[in-house]
Amino acid sequence: MTMPLLSGPVVAAVLVFLAVLAAIPPVIAVLRNRKADADVSRRLQRRMPGEGGAARRQENALGKAVMGLADNVAPAEGDEVNAARGKLNLAGFTQPNAVSRYFAARFVCVVIPQIALLFALPYFSGLPKYAPVAASILLVLMGLAAPGKYLDMRIAERKQACSLGFPDMMDLMVACVEAGLSLDAAVQRVGEELELRHPIIAGHMRTLSLELRAGRARKTAWRAFADRLGLEEAGSLATMLRQAEEMGTSLGQTLRVFSADMRQRRILYAEEKAMALPAKLTLPLIFFVFPVLLGVLTLPAVVMLGRTLPS
């Protein structure tokens, strides 16, 4: 008796193969991060020799074997890791282990549904034979896309919050500079003032203030600030400050003009939202209000016609 093409063992083997295939990139990323940690531990052990040398040598040998395998399997260029790190920074995850956690989240989102699907295979008996494989592929795609989709939503939310708070930041910058503070001191002061109302911008300004105090070039620090915010307005501000520094123009006047432009943009944005409101209300009115109004107007006439017409 021949075995069907998609029997239970075959489907289980296919699901496990897909789960392992999807888990290869996060495992490689975790191994590479562990390699960096192993390098740091090795340097510390060289500076602090002591007991347990045989155990350390055995651990180092095992670590070298695992890391050698990871280096041979992993790609030479870390484009995917760099892209993930950039998205994580825009989303607010700036921890050193954020990349490894991101790949671990992708691993969990892929493997856990596959394991659940293995236990749910008996319920696929009444469905077509290709249903388990199709469900497995769909779960793999959803698991791979879910962390990235969450990051995109978080990035859009943070950009929206920063865009709403950017005019307030510019007004405070103008007030501080015109009061006699330098640009670097104004950055620190504005970051403290925005701590409660706009904490995201305040965090970026604290980072900017630390970079300026550490001696980083002003134009480079402001460009990095604009990249972290991810706003067009921040990029324009960084370019304007660089040009003002190169040409020797008044910084207070430059910031005042830019702040007025930001306020005008906020007014135009509010007017755009207000003008788009009638068009957005058209469909709710058609689908929810108009049928009720039509029923209220026509129901008495229908009742009267039903009474007057002969049965």
Helix 8-47, helix 53-73: angle, nearest 10: 130
pLDDT values of the chain reduced to their tens digit, one per residue, 311 residues: 444 444 554 555 555 555 555 555 555 554 455 544 545 455 445 444 444 444 444 445 544 544 444 344 333 346 777 888 888 888 888 888 888 888 888 888 888 888 888 888 887 777 787 888 888 888 888 888 888 899 999 999 998 888 888 888 988 888 898 888 888 899 989 989 898 888 999 999 999 999 988 888 888 999 989 888 888 888 888 888 888 888 877 788 888 888 888 888 888 888 888 898 888 888 888 888 888 888 888 888 888 888 887 65
Element (H, E) at 126: none
CA distances from 112 to 95, 149, 281 (A): 25, 18, 42
pLDDT of 22: 56
Which residue, chain included where needed, has tokens 């921890």? 95
Cα separation, 169 vs 39, whole angstroms: 43
User: Are 251 and 184 spatial neighbours (Cβ–Cβ below 8 Å)?
Assistant: no
User: Are 155 and 129 spatial neighbours (Cβ–Cβ below 8 Å)?
Assistant: no
Which residue, chain included where needed, has tokens 């409660």? 196
Predicted TM-score (pTM) of the model is 0.63
Which residue, chain included where needed, has tokens 């980072």? 207
Cα separation, 6 vs 130, whole angstroms: 7
Tens-place pLDDT, residues 48-87: 444 444 444 444 554 454 444 434 433 334 677 788 888 8
User: Are 262 and 166 spatial neighbours (Cβ–Cβ below 8 Å)?
Assistant: yes
Beta-carbon-side half-sphere exposure of residue 257 (alpha carbons within 13 Å): 10
pLDDT of 153: 92
Those residues whose C-beta lies under 8 Å from the C-beta of residue 84, and which sit 6 or more positions away, are 99, 102, 103
pLDDT of 14: 55
Those residues whose C-beta lies under 8 Å from the C-beta of residue 36, and which sit 6 or more positions away, are none
Structure tokens at 282: 């058209």
Number of helices (H) and strands (E) in the chain: give both, helices first: 11, 0
Alpha helices in the chain (DSSP H): 8-47, 53-73, 79-91, 98-119, 131-178, 183-193, 199-213, 218-229, 232-247, 251-284, 290-308
Cα separation, 169 vs 262, whole angstroms: 10
Element (H, E) at 180: none
Q: Which of 116, 124, 123, 120 is nearest to 140 (CA)?
A: 116
Q: What value does the mean pLDDT of the chain take? A: 76
